[in-house]
Amino acid sequence: MAKPLRAILVASLAVLAATGSQGESRQSDAAGPAVTAPQPDMPLSVMTYNVMGLPWPVAFGRDEALGRIAERLAALRRAGRQPHIVLLQEAFSPEAVQLARRAGYAHVAIGPDSGLRTAIAARTDDRNFLQAARWDRGETAPKQLNSGLLILSDYPIVGIDRMAYPDFACAGFDCLANKGVLIAHLAVPGFDRPVSIVNTHLNARKAAGVAIARSQQAFDRQAGLLADFVRAHVLAGQPMILGGDLNIGGDSNRFQAFFARWARVGMGFVAAHLGGARRALADRVLTDVGNHADLEQASARGKDWLFARDGGGRPMSVVHAAVPFGTEAEGAPLSDHFGYMIAYAPDGDKVQLASREAVASWR
């Protein structure tokens, strides 16, 4: 979830609890910038971005950075180039939630709050894992933060599913946040079924502050629970996009564990070579040459991923890629992750940009 210094601060500062619950649906009380008018036959674009939205004093200068992120998304909207769907991670602070409104997204799904618990039966190895919990790494403390998950959408949300990873599926400082899964089912013009968008943030490795073997056990358990939850809540014939901060990195054990889980549930489109960034680089669909190095860096880092399937279960075609939040011309990047966008064009489907005919709603 965070670098070691930030994680230690999280463990010691109860002030973080003041970030509050973000798990309930609510109506927006302010309209954002005007949404671009519908344009037929446009691809469906989605961006994943870990915005490092930790509150002060755990992180410094985040309000300003989040404001700049919102302004850039609003500028992209004015130019008709905004991602239609945005997956955010580490959107813990109230300012991160307000980002959606400022950027002009009419529909927002909010992940598990700090109080959500999901009933999942513990196995013997889960109980053994809990018995070895470390209080000095936050594993026995109450949840201080919500999941940090948001899905911003230009399309109406017709359903939401949430799951919080149980205590036996988290390790180290990551346990202070109620990490989990957020699924938003969207009504997208051109699709005869809802398009399911899945956002998650999996357990950190070394930054969790515990032994690698322990963080790996939590990661593997989360990956399995994630795949099972998605299989249970996304119908077989439903288009789906899965993404987020998966924290795979360069660890071969994590790589094998994560992708094996999806193969077991019959979702072969979640495969390393079908990751949106990798496909965009291989197919050379970047139109901005300046994005290439940033997308290569994001892909090589192996943390932020996107995968998409159409209604027939086939991987969607990648037709465009961009990195709205990468290397900055002046100053440091706006987060410790890059935010990249992939545009998908499913075969046989006609997709349109969303209109703003519907009343802005928060879910």
Question: Is the pLDDT score of 271 beyond 90?
Answer: yes
Q: What is the pLDDT of residue 55?
A: 65
The first and second tokens of residue 248, run together, are: 């795979």
Question: 24-33, 94-103, 110-119, 144-153: lowest mean pLDDT where?
Answer: 24-33
pLDDT score at 229: 98
The reported pLDDT for the residue numbered 63 is 85
> What six digits make up the tokens of 121?
């039966």
pLDDT of residue 42: 64
pLDDT tens column, 24-56: 333 333 334 444 433 434 689 999 999 998 765
| Per-residue pLDDT, 291 | 87
| pLDDT for the residue numbered 59 | 61
pLDDT band of 252, cuts 50, 70, 90: very high
By mean pLDDT, which of 7-11, 44-48, 114-118, 277-281 is the weakest?
7-11
Q: Does residue 212 surpass a pLDDT of 90?
A: yes
Q: Please count the CA atoms within 13 angstroms of the CA of 144 that sit on its side-chain side.
A: 22
Write the pLDDT tens digit of every residue in 155-206. Answer: 999 999 999 999 999 999 999 999 999 999 999 998 989 999 999 999 999 9
What's the pLDDT score for residue 206? 93
Q: Above pLDDT 70, what percent of the chain? A: 82
pLDDT at 360 over 50: no
pLDDT of residue 20: 35
Section 79-100 average pLDDT: 93
Question: What architecture (CATH level 2) is domain 4-362?
Answer: 4-Layer Sandwich (3.60)
Average pLDDT, the chain: 86
pLDDT at 56: 57
Quick check: 6 pLDDT over 50? no
Put simply, whether the predicted model's pTM sits higher than 0.85 gets the answer yes
Render pLDDT for 314-336 as a digit per residue (tens, 0 to 9): 999 999 999 999 999 888 999 99
In this structure, the dihedral spanned by the alpha carbons of residues 253, 150, 316 and 224, taken in order and rounded to 10 degrees, is 30
* pLDDT value for 8: 41
Predicted local distance difference test score (pLDDT) of residue 10: 45
